[in-house]
Amino acid sequence: MDIRTARLGGRPVNRGDLDYVVSMDTNWSVQKTLFGKLSGRVESQQRLERWVRIWETQGFGFWIFSNTRGEVIGHAGIFNSPREEGSIEVGYALKPAHWGKGYAMEMAMVSLDVAFVTFALPRIIAIAAPENIASRRVLEKCGMALDREFVSTQSLPSVRYSAARNDWIRWRSQASP
């Protein structure tokens, strides 16, 4: 299932995306607020396999997003939360060269739209590092609300945002385009 925003096109992740995943997993600017550590090629391959399996078993997952020039700029999607059993999480990451352009919000918003409209999922969560103000602002601009602060399974301080389907659909109908 391909998806589009005004400026981006997204396609489901596939096994040919290993070089992209490795490039993101080995970039400290990206990883310092995601996992707090760099990953090697083997870990990236395992992550990619998990992402592909999500698509194969659930019909949704991560999309690789490209801009109008065809440059891959990042990924975003919905997936079973590894932090909260039974929850679906929205996540996104951008290559640093594309930060500050509003792409993260577009990717997160279209992912939430798929979650709530296409799949009618009842609730979505998102996890961020407390100091990642840019990511927290993206979540707030996408209609999600801060739920709680906690320490992740990787012992990292974290914040959880969430949105319930009916509340989000009501918010979306009132939000400016």
Q: What does pTM read for this prediction?
A: 0.90
Residue type, 140: E
Q: Which DSSP letter does residue 17 get?
A: G
What's the pLDDT at 36?
A: 64
**Percent of the chain topping pLDDT 70:** 93
Cα distances (Å, whole numbers) of residue 131 to 1, 127, 144: 34, 12, 17
- Look at residue 127 in the predicted model and tell me its pLDDT: 92
| Dist CA 124 CA 146 (whole Å) | 12
Angstrom distance (rounded) from CA 68 to CA 74: 13
Q: Count the Cβ atoms, other than its own, within 10 Å of residue 103.
A: 22
The DSSP string of 89-149 is: EEEEEE-GGGTTSSHHHHHHHHHHHIIIIIS--SEEEEEE-TT-HHHHHHHHHTT-EEEEE
CB atoms within 10 A of CB 28: 9
Whether residue 125 contacts residue 84, with contact meaning beta carbons closer than 8 Å, is answered with yes
pLDDT of 116-167, one tens digit each?
Answer: 999 999 999 999 989 989 999 999 999 999 999 988 777 778 899 999 999 9
Report the alpha-carbon distance of residue 92 to residue 120 in Å, rounded. 20
Mean pLDDT of the chain, nearest integer = 91
> Domains of the chain, with CATH numbers?
3-174 (3.40.630.30)
